[in-house]
Amino acid sequence: MGTYTRYPLRITKGKGCWVWDQNNQKYLDAVAGIATCSLGHSNRAIASALTKQLKKLQHISNLYSIPEQEELGQWLVQNSCADSIFFCNSGAEANEAAIKLARKYGHTKLGIKEPIILSAEESFHGRTLAAVSATGQPKYHSGFEPVVEGFKFFKYNNWESFIKLFAELEERSSDVVAVLIEPIQGEGGVRPGDKTFFKHLKSFCKEKKILLIFDEVQSGMGRTGYLWGYQSLEIEPDIFTLAKGLGGGHAIGALLAKKSADIFTPGDHASTFGGNPFACRAGLTVAKEIQKRNILNNVKQRGDELKKGLSRIKQQFPNQIQEIRGLGLMQGLVIKEDLLLTSQEVISAAIEKKLLLVPAGSKVVRMVPPLIIKKQEIYELVKRLQEAFKVLV
């Protein structure tokens, strides 16, 4: 179906941080399947692990216990604040599960008949109907109305906006059950969470017995230089969601919850493919490689180098670039609002320089390369982006 406006490329193979098109032209990939290919393309460890898994078992459904699923679940619990996990296939599905869990929590724990979930403006939580309804960008709602009820929006990182919204809902006797928020907004423009705002939010949610839900679909599994985005904010959510980097390029999502928030019972939620042996083997391989290869340290070092390089480009083109923002290997270059120049134009110019980038709105160019990117490749990324800007201006 005509759901994608594709770039004029047909990618046929990849290795590490590089991909090749049908004409054997080589490109530096700073998209990584949209923050998904954590270990790069054609990773040897993933290839070996999944080949062995395919010869053993690929899918049996959740009618039976799945050893690979249990092992991945144990790793995630041991390395996070969560106590239990539900596996699914994507970020949107993980957020749908979180929404269902929050609503049931409101009904059964708080006695709320019509639970409301607060979300941030410019957020992005997925394309399914409830997930897109929770997304604070009206452009994603257009044409799909009526959206699912039960979501209200406040300004990201703005405590006054949050408190004002909550007070207005209280006056109307509307009951808030949860806050769904990204620790760093991705599609909304690569906006890192403000530590003070999030600490206020955590205290407020605890006081009001409201669930704090983090959408870590893009920030989780080391993308920010921390294993989890919430660690950069020095707080813990009650629930958080994962996908993208968890499978290193293979479809898997997860809903993780603390014991106090885990109230699902048999029959409440399910997934045919969720957490199957193949997907969980991919997740286990990514998890073990992150630890074995000290990839978090690489993300922090390369992220610092990338930010410095982007800052140099900003100094060279002060009339075009407003700011550089992000964490680790999730960086955004913000184009000045009053310019006609768009992120898509920058990305098209970069493609001509054999560099792949991804937009985060019409004015933000996003860089989310594989977590294993090397220092020389960061240098090459910055150099090619610089050359693209020279053409544009």
SS3 per residue for the chain: CCCCCCCCCCEEEEEECEEEECCCCEEEECCHHHHCCCCCECCHHHHHHHHHHHHHCCCCCCCCCCHHHHHHHHHHHHCCCCCEEEEECCHHHHHHHHHHHHHHHHHHHCCCCCCEEEEEECCCCCCCHHHHHCCECHHHCCCCCCCCCCEEEECCCCHHHHHHHHHHHHHCCCCEEEEEECCEECCCCCEECCHHHHHHHHHHHHHHCCEEEEECCCCCCCCCCCCCHHHHHCCCCCEEEECHHHHCCCCCEEEEECHHHCCCCCCCCCCCCCCCHHHHHHHHHHHHHHHHCCHHHHHHHHHHHHHHHHHHHHHHCCCCEEEEEEECCEEEEEECCCCCCCHHHHHHHHHHCCEECEECCCCEEEECCCCCCCHHHHHHHHHHHHHHHHHHC
Identify whether 226 is part of a domain. Answer: yes
pLDDT at residue 174 in the model? 81
* C-alpha distances in Å from residue 350, one per residue of 308, 318, 344, 346: 19, 19, 10, 6
Identify whether 314 is part of a domain. Answer: yes
Span 180-200, pLDDT tens digits: 999 999 999 999 999 999 999
Same domain, 176 and 239: yes
- CATH code assigned at 240: 3.40.640.10
Strand order in the sheet with 84-88: 84-88, 253-257, 239-242, 211-215, 176-181, 116-120, 151-154
Identify whether 214 is part of a domain. Answer: yes
Q: In whole angstroms, give the CA distance from residue 178 to residue 100.
A: 11
Identify whether 6 is part of a domain. Answer: no
Same domain, 26 and 112: no
Same domain, 338 and 275: no
Same domain, 51 and 86: yes
Other C-beta atoms lying within 10 Å of the C-beta of residue 248:
30
Identify whether 39 is part of a domain. Answer: no
Same domain, 185 and 261: yes
Q: Say how many domains are in the chain.
A: 2
> Could you report the average pLDDT of every consecutive run of 10 residues in the chain (393 residues)?
93 98 97 98 98 97 97 98 98 98 96 96 97 97 96 98 96 92 97 98 97 98 98 98 98 98 96 98 98 97 98 96 98 95 97 98 97 98 97 91
Contacts of 79 (CB under 8 A, 6+ apart): 227, 287
Same domain, 209 and 318: no
Asked whether 307 and 313 are in contact (CB, 8 A), the reply is no
Radius of gyration of the chain (CA): 21
Q: In whole angstroms, give the CA distance from residue 256 to residue 172.
A: 32
Other C-beta atoms lying within 10 Å of the C-beta of residue 338:
7
What is the residue range of 324's domain?
Answer: 11-30+294-392
Q: In whole angstroms, give the CA distance from residue 85 to residue 254.
A: 7
Same domain, 49 and 139: yes
pLDDT at residue 26 in the model? 98
Identify whether 375 is part of a domain. Answer: yes
The four Cα atoms 270, 272, 278, 279 give a dihedral, to 10 degrees, of -50
Phi, psi of 317 (to 5 degrees): -125, 65
Asked whether 188 and 153 are in contact (CB, 8 A), the reply is no
pLDDT at residue 36 in the model? 98
Q: In whole angstroms, give the CA distance from residue 178 to residue 180.
A: 6
Identify whether 38 is part of a domain. Answer: no
pLDDT at residue 365 in the model? 98
Same domain, 255 and 299: no
pLDDT at residue 31 in the model? 98
Token readout for 125 is 């939580």
pLDDT at residue 236 in the model? 98
Same domain, 361 and 224: no
* Cis amide linkage into residue 146, ω under 30° from 0: yes
Same domain, 240 and 323: no
Contacts of 200 (CB under 8 A, 6+ apart): 159
Q: In whole angstroms, give the CA distance from residue 230 to residue 241.
A: 11
Same domain, 21 and 126: no
Last residue of a domain, one of 238, 272, 292: 292
The chain-wide mean pLDDT, for the chain, equals: 97
Last residue of a domain, one of 292, 308, 341: 292
Q: In whole angstroms, give the CA distance from residue 344 to residue 359.
A: 7
Last residue of a domain, one of 236, 261, 292: 292
Instruction: Note the maximum CA span of the chain.
Output: 63
Identify whether 36 is part of a domain. Answer: no
pLDDT at residue 172 in the model? 86
- CATH code assigned at 379: 3.90.1150.10
Same domain, 166 and 300: no
CA 227 and chain centroid, separation: 13
